[in-house]
Amino acid sequence: MYGNITIVDGPGKDAPADDPVKLAEFEARIAAGEKIEPHDWMPAEYRRQLIRMIEQHAHSEIIGALPEGTWITRAPGFKRKMALMAKVQDEVGHAQLLYSAAETLGKPRERMLDDLINGRSKYSNVFNYPAFTWADTAVIAWLIDASAIINQVANSKGSYAPYCRALERICQEESFHLKYGYDNVVTLATGTPTQRTMVQEALNRWWRPIMHFFGPPDTASQHTEKLMRWKVKMASNDDMRQQFFNQYVPKIYELGLTVPDAELAKDPATGKWTYGDPDWDEFKRVINGDGPCNKERLAVRKTAEERGRWVREALARPREQQYVTPLS
């Protein structure tokens, strides 16, 4: 229940059509660059899409804490351990902000988490791959955080105010993560031959998942057109991928590293990058539950849900009941 709205999963696809006058007013507000607040009228499909997207984003942050989280005990040195712990904690904090933003649209957090652990809701493809070595964590913190920033800076200029507010704060923290990741990659890339090999191998492992991170090509994207019209998404999947190439491929080359795609090249005439097929079938398999770590990731979340239930129940209990003991 949110205000006078009771929505559990967002209106289904068969929800009654929106009032055309209200819809036209809403679209005029969007066109004028106004922000939409939770109590404002919004089309049922706008609400449904926002819940889908913000919820998937929130899940990506808590699941995203896991590949790097497994390295906290093995981080090389105390300073890096402290930094990694802080980063992982930040990612979980981002999930809190995003679940709160999604809740303003009427879907309770418990339902979102239930949909995650029961495989009804997606989360970012990249977190279904393992972090085999310390260099994997460096590449995640540099290039996946970089990709997330490209996406989130764009989304933060969007139309739904609570999501934009959450993203502004998240982007500040992600920028710090990126610097931490870059520092780790530079250390490895300028280190011993073994360290250089380790970071190159990690980059090779993550390249394809990073290509998938921005979503399918625009021609295959289901939601982009509608989401861009309503200013929920402020850049298309292909535009974000191009931005990533422009900003990060030169930095990768600068470190003497290579990209595992022989077809990657910038067309000097158009300024556009062309790249080899990153295996979109693999992307589909991974986002639909059949990646290398999907089962493991969800099992960890399921255990966390079960073990933490008593804490959530205690917090939800009215204050007076919390102190009632058999002796009182």
Query: Which positions lie near ligand FAQ, rule CB under 6 A?
Result: 52-53, 56-57, 60-61, 64, 91, 122, 124-125, 140, 144-145, 148, 151, 155, 212-216, 221-224, 227, 233, 237, 287
**Residue of minimal CB distance from ligand FAQ?**
64
Minimum CB distance to ligand FAQ smaller for 288 or for 322: 288
Q: CA-CA-CA-CA torsion for 167, 168, 173, 177, nearest 10 degrees?
A: 70
Residue 7 Cβ, how far from ligand FAQ at the closest point, in Å? 17
Residues forming a β-bridge with 160: 36
Residue 316 Cβ, how far from ligand FAQ at the closest point, in Å? 28
Minimum CB distance to ligand FAQ smaller for 207 or for 213: 213
275-284 — which CB contacts under 8 Å span 24+ positions? 275/211, 275/245, 278/207, 278/208, 278/211, 278/212, 279/208, 280/212, 280/216, 280/217, 280/220, 282/208, 282/212, 283/125, 283/212, 283/216
Minimum CB distance to ligand FAQ smaller for 92 or for 299: 92
H-helix or E-strand spanning residue 63: helix 44-69
Residue 38 Cβ, how far from ligand FAQ at the closest point, in Å? 19
Residue with tokens 């073990």: 307
Minimum CB distance to ligand FAQ smaller for 115 or for 265: 115
Residue 211 Cβ, how far from ligand FAQ at the closest point, in Å? 10
Residue 86 Cβ, how far from ligand FAQ at the closest point, in Å? 13
Minimum CB distance to ligand FAQ smaller for 138 or for 144: 144
**Helix orientation angle between 145-155 and 237-254, rounded to the nearest 10 degrees:** 140
Residue 249 Cβ, how far from ligand FAQ at the closest point, in Å? 19
Minimum CB distance to ligand FAQ smaller for 257 or for 287: 287
Residue pair 234/157 in contact by the 8 Å Cβ criterion? yes
Residue 318 Cβ, how far from ligand FAQ at the closest point, in Å? 35
Residues forming a β-bridge with 2: 5
> What's at 17, amino acid-wise?
A
CA distances from 54 to 49, 79, 116, 253, 309 (A): 8, 33, 13, 34, 23
H-helix or E-strand spanning residue 265: strand 265-266
Minimum CB distance to ligand FAQ smaller for 231 or for 306: 231
